[in-house]
Amino acid sequence: MDGYIKVQLLPDDFFYPMVQKDGYVFEHRLTMAKALKRCLLEWEVVHHKNGNRDDNRLENLEVLPVAFKHNAVTLMIKYIHKLELENSSLKSQLAKLSKE
C-alpha cells in the first residue's frame, strides 16, 4: 500500500493487538512499538522523517501523537524542500549573472 511494508503477526505475538483485520501490521509501526516496548495506540502516528515509506530504520521514524500533526509536519517538510530547490536555482542564476 503506497510503499509501506506490511508484516504478518501470529495471534500469540505480543504486538498482535496492533494488527489490522487481515492479520498484518505496518512494519514502521511495529519497529517503533518494539523500540518503545509497547503496542502503539490507534491514534499514534509513526512518521518517516525522510519521507521514504519503506525506510523503516528506527532513526528515520518518530511518533506523533495525532494524525493532524503528522499532516502538518509532512506539508512543512514538502514546503521546506520546495524552498531549498528555489534557493538553489536562485543561487545558480546569481552565479551566472555575476560571471557576465
Residues 86 and 58 in one domain: no
Cα separation, 37 vs 49, in Å, equals 21
pLDDT in tens, 43-72: 788 999 998 999 999 999 999 876 656 676
27 and 11 co-located in one domain: yes
Indicate whether 53 and 84 sit together in one domain. no
56 shares a domain with 14: yes
How many domains are contained in the chain?
2
> Do 44 and 2 share a structural domain?
yes
Please state whether the predicted TM-score (pTM) of the whole model is above 0.85: no
Average pLDDT, integer, range 65-82: 72
Torsion, Cα 72 65 29 23, to 10 degrees, reads -110
14 & 55 share domain: yes
Domain assignment of residue 15, given as a range: 1-65
Alpha-carbon span 73 to 86, nearest angstrom: 20
Is residue 28 within 8 Å of 61, Cβ to Cβ?
yes
Residues 17 and 39 in one domain: yes
Contact 47, 64 (CB under 8 A): yes
Reported as a pLDDT band with limits 50, 70 and 90, residue 1 is low
User: Where does the pLDDT of residue 96 fall: very low under 50, low under 70, confident under 90, or very high at 90 and above?
Assistant: confident
